[in-house]
Chain A
Amino acid sequence: MFVTVLDIVIGGLIMGGIYALIAVGLSLQYGVGRVLNVSHGEFIMIGAFATWSLYTLLGISPLLSLVICGPVLFIIGFLIHRSLFQYLRDKSESIGAFADSSLLASFGLLFIIQNVALLIWKADIRGYSYLNSPVSILGALFAAHRLVALLFAVGISLAFYFFLKHTRLGKAIRAAAEDPTTAQVMGVNIHWVLAICFGLGALMAGFAGPLISMMYEIQPMMGLEYTIIAIIVVVLGGLGSITGSLIGGFILGLIGSIVTYFDPGFSLIAYYIIFILLLLIRPTGIFGK
């Protein structure tokens, strides 16, 4: 009994850690920048496949790939915002119109990235085995790579939380999330901060991708599912609340783990039911105002 509970809880924390990472990424892009980036999952997929290629072709450790993928995707995300989304934002008459047109543009990105991935990696399901030896925690057995993934997810989340709370840039980001216009008046270079937020969103995807590829099978169409989970978590935590997304990720991960224990096929349905009930009862999320 105790072992089963431990199994569920740690399994939930592992899933939750990944969910928290990808949700914080989306939260930075939507909550601060108003870009509901539906291609978020595609960035995760790119991170996962880059890791797979580096590991199977060159034998580079997935954990090293993680350190490479994150910054590379950060730069790509930053540049995409500086070119595409900033241009759209400047041209839009209202923030609502920008939200609509950026949503459409990110659909365009989704199609393009997915197609490029299909051309490079084909539509096959891929996987590799890394740090596969079982580790026992108080009697419950876990593959070592899952615990490493948990450690990294929690570590990155905590590091990001401190970055947000205690650095100047973090303060600027929080200010921009609260009220972009006032933040600008207070001397925040809003264009830079928004581009950095979008880049950080891609960075989180670049961290999550390699971790996901360590644990699960991957294929080029996997992105949308992660995007949807990220959207659910962001709503759960409250749109615009980055801390809410962090905690929301772990909550959804735990719920997912409990449901999966009873019926593995039902977890996605459970997420949607939670999501819909939440929107009906408390659309501002658990931590929203």
Chain B
Amino acid sequence: MISQKPFLLGLLILILILLATIPLYIPPYPVISLTSIIMYIIITVSWTIFSGPTRYISLASAAFFGVGVYTSAILGHILPLPVVILIGGLVSFILALCIGLLTLRLRGMYFIIFTFGISELIRHSLLWWETKIMGTVGRWVVAVDHVVVYYVILVIFILALLTAYLIRRSRFGLAMRSIGEQEEAATHIGINATVVKTTAFAISAFFMGATGAIMATRWTYIDPKIALNPLFSFMPVLMAIFGGTGQLYGPIFGAAVFAYLEEILITKFPYYYMLIFGSILIVVILFLPHGMVGLVQNLRKRGVKRQNANS
């Protein structure tokens, strides 16, 4: 493990340099595709910050992402881009704090369906508000050059990755893992589960909101159906579990492969894309020895053993 570290770090820096220079030598279209792939990676990595170690599966990603998108649509006309992105993240952060404090009692399936319900409630309320009160559905967003969008996404990606890495290594990350293992036991050894869970939830929401705020400028037109599409809630879960949440590179790998696959399938087989996607999903679940979740659990167990062996 230790001997791998310089190698992994070198690889990471190489990949980052490659990503940072890509717009210089490839045409716009692949850059735009790459932007949306990185968008999925950020959402998945930030989903994993909270849901990975605590094992609380959140389906509220669409809400946090969509709130960022809407912040950008409303403030984009009057404020400079960096401020808009920061506010987009902060609004999602605060929303997550509120949801986190509300859902303290809920666990397992109840938490999953609650977060999904909240996300859908916000989407339908926005839609109702726009049709009933405003009279028009949807908004125009100030467009930003695709290279700028790409670099902003890249910066958010690096920050999210760094945050995820630092949290994993900290006492805070350890506290989250013990909540995931046995919440009662974690509380008994003095972990304030409420504070830990809510903070982690809000941090993960911040990155989703910021990503939403910049992606809105890419789409130029948005409405509640686009901004809070439930797929933004489902995809990170599928991607993270596909890649495995035990290690930091799991969700990155899962999201990259999934998002790339989606891009290819949509362009090559527009009429069969969901069919192929669904079949791959089922095949992966069936033919990994214990289903994808089982594989993740095995990875986690192996990870724990390895940590024990090292210490």
Contacts and interface: CB of A to CB of B under 8 A. Distances in A.
Interface of A: 36, 84, 87-88, 91-93, 96-101, 104-105, 107-112, 114-116, 118-119, 224, 228, 231-232, 235, 239, 263, 265-266, 268-269, 272-273, 275-276, 279-280, 283
Nearest to A224: B230
10 contacts: A88-B291, A97-B293, A100-B293, A104-B293, A108-B282, A108-B285, A235-B113, A269-B124, A272-B124, A283-B106
B219 interface: no
B183 interface: no
A231 B286 CA distance: 25
A263 B132 CA distance: 10
A241 B291 CA distance: 28
B109 A239 contact: yes
Contacts of B108: 96
Contact of B285 (A101, A228, A273): A101
Contacts of A272: 117, 120-121, 124
B259 to A, nearest CB: 16
B281 interface: yes
A91 B290 contact: yes
Contacts of B132: 263, 265
Given A235-B113, A265-B132, A107 B281 contact: yes
B179 to A, nearest CB: 15
Contact of B291 (A92, A116, A235, A279): A92
A266 B124 CA distance: 9
A100 B112 CA distance: 11
A87 B287 CA distance: 10
Contacts, number: 121
B124 A268 contact: yes
B121 A279 contact: no
A93 B271 contact: no
Interface in B249-302: 271-275, 277-279, 281-282, 285-286, 289-294, 297
A118 to B, nearest CB: 8
A88 B282 CA distance: 10
Contact of B128 (A100, A101, A105, A269): A269
Given A276-B114, A283-B105, A111 B281 contact: yes
B113 to A, nearest CB: 6
Contacts of B125: 269
Contacts of A114: 274
Nearest to A39: B278
Nearest to B241: A104
Contacts of B277: 111
Contacts of B237: 104
A98 B291 CA distance: 9
B282 A84 contact: yes
B238 interface: yes
B114 A91 contact: no
A265 B238 CA distance: 32
A91 B241 CA distance: 17
Contacts of B194: none
B273 A115 contact: yes
A107 B238 CA distance: 9
A116 B275 contact: yes
B230 to A, nearest CB: 7
